[in-house]
Chains A and B, each alone.
Chain A
Amino acid sequence: MTAATGVETGPRALSCYTANLAAYLERRDPGALDTIARTVHLAVRTGLPDDDLAVSHHAEPLHRLPRDGELRHACTRSPMVLLRELREELARHGQVVVFASSAALPWSIATSERSAPHLLLVDGNDGERWHVVDEFSAQLPDGRQEPFEGWIDDDALIAVTEPNPTPPREHELRDDHVFGVPVPRPPSGTYHWLSLGVQGLPGPGLPEGWRVGAEASLTALRDFWSGVAEHPDRARFLDDMWAASQHHTFRYAQLLHVERPCAADADLFRAAASAWTDLPMALHFAVRSAARGRARPAVVTATFDHLLRAELAAQRVLGAYGYRSAP
């Protein structure tokens, strides 16, 4: 609705995936949040089967910890094994990230119709209960989601992490790219967490076919979303656009907070942040208008063109502050 100059700069400003992953990483490396901000990017892949959309938000893979190891997907079909493995991970590292469903979280305002995958931080176990931390905070369609920190018992932990045996494709794609590069996710229908191990060789990064960087990705997205009236099923990727908006507004908020740029540059960053803030609203407007028989492709085009201009203007000076400014 207005510029995002007042957004938070901590993990709470991030998305339902990245917020608690960032909190995990920050506990191991106090500079992790700053690194995430500096390496936010947008890469997309359109033209996939079934009109799918894949999105990468992080230029530097989040699962590769710079100093001490690599996060790997771990899974089991047994809730008892899940509890045992989480206790062992806590004993080794003091914290663990688990995959949950937003509607299953007792403190979540999400309804079952709007439930989405949600990463949750577990950082304690007293034998009967688990201490959980959920930094995620946002204004959602169902109201304001506030952060949570507290204790839940075994049954509750099993309930919030209960897997969806048939997740929608958009959730699978999100899981595939949670770190910023494709990493094979566990089979559907399994309890799922991240286990910290020894760092392996660097992966190959994004494969061929991805549109990387502001100009290429935003142009591809403009074309994708301009056609939402003809392809209403594309609305299932609105949450991915909201996540991109969150990550970029977080980047600019962090930059403004940490780097104290000159006034001219600060104006460019605020303008770009504001344009990112408006993007999800414009896309929701286009989707709802199309559903009412009022296709508004020109709203989508005007919004993306404005965002691209603002983003490119900001990127011309981003590099001077040590932030990623090019593919």
Chain B
Amino acid sequence: MPGDQDRVVDAVKRMVIAESRISLDPGALSVDEPLNGQVLRVTSVGFLSMLIRLEDELDVVLPDDLFAGRTFRTVADLVDVVLPTYLKEVG
């Protein structure tokens, strides 16, 4: 559902912007933006906090294999793990 996807993408973007301690309109952030690059600076510690806040904000339980071989390089990688869970549990 487009509305559900928009909500997840918006939540993820707001989280990574906040974790990077920058001021940026979520709409101006590409999902292809690296989590650790010239724009975003998400540390491993910040990443962990973000996962927990995403669970709370979207009222989802992230998958058990969250740390079992997944690679999170871009905003889209994070959306890809959150969205299916959100659609299954909430959408």
What is the interface of chain A, defined by CB distance below 8 A to chain B?
Answer: 1-3, 139-141, 144, 271, 274-275, 278-279, 281-282, 284-285, 288-289, 292, 294, 296, 298-299, 301-303, 305-306, 310
Q: Smallest CB-CB separation from A305: which chain B residue?
A: B68
* Interface set, chain B 26-67, CB cutoff 8 A to A: 35-36, 42-45, 47-48, 51-52, 55, 61, 64-67
Q: Is the CB of A282 within 8 A of B66?
A: yes
Which of B45, B52, B66 makes the CB contact (< 8 A) with A292? B52
Residues of A within 8 A of B23 (CB): none
Measured CA separation A144–B45 after assembly (Å): 10
Residues of B within 8 A of A299 (CB): 64, 66-67
Q: Is the CB of A302 within 8 A of B71?
A: no
- A1-B44, A281-B48 are known; give 7 further A-B pairs, CB within 8 A: A2-B73, A141-B45, A281-B67, A282-B67, A285-B66, A288-B52, A299-B66
Q: Is the CB of A296 within 8 A of B73?
A: no
Measured CA separation A139–B44 after assembly (Å): 8
Q: Is the CB of A302 within 8 A of B48?
A: no
Measured CA separation A43–B51 after assembly (Å): 31
Measured CA separation A292–B42 after assembly (Å): 23
Residues of B within 8 A of A281 (CB): 44, 47-48, 67
Which of A1, A271, A301, A305 makes the CB contact (< 8 A) with B72? A1
In this complex, the interface size class of chain B, counting residues with CB under 8 Å from chain A, is 20 to 34
Answer yes or no: B3 CB below 8 A from chain A CBs.
no
Answer yes or no: B2 CB below 8 A from chain A CBs.
no
Measured CA separation A305–B43 after assembly (Å): 25
What would be 23 A-B contacts, judged by CB atoms less than 8 Å apart?
Answer: A1-B42, A2-B71, A2-B73, A139-B43, A271-B69, A274-B71, A275-B69, A278-B67, A278-B68, A281-B44, A282-B67, A285-B51, A285-B52, A285-B66, A285-B67, A288-B48, A294-B61, A296-B64, A302-B64, A303-B68, A306-B65, A306-B67, A306-B69
Q: Interface centre among B44, B48, B55, B72, by most A CB within 10 Å?
A: B44
Measured CA separation A3–B69 after assembly (Å): 9
Q: Is the CB of A2 within 8 A of B72?
A: yes
Residues of A within 8 A of B48 (CB): 281, 284-285, 288
- Closest approach, in angstroms, between the C-beta of A325 and any C-beta of chain B? 22
Measured CA separation A141–B42 after assembly (Å): 13
- Closest approach, in angstroms, between the C-beta of B45 and any C-beta of chain A? 5
Measured CA separation A288–B45 after assembly (Å): 12
Residues of B within 8 A of A2 (CB): 71-73
Measured CA separation A318–B5 after assembly (Å): 44
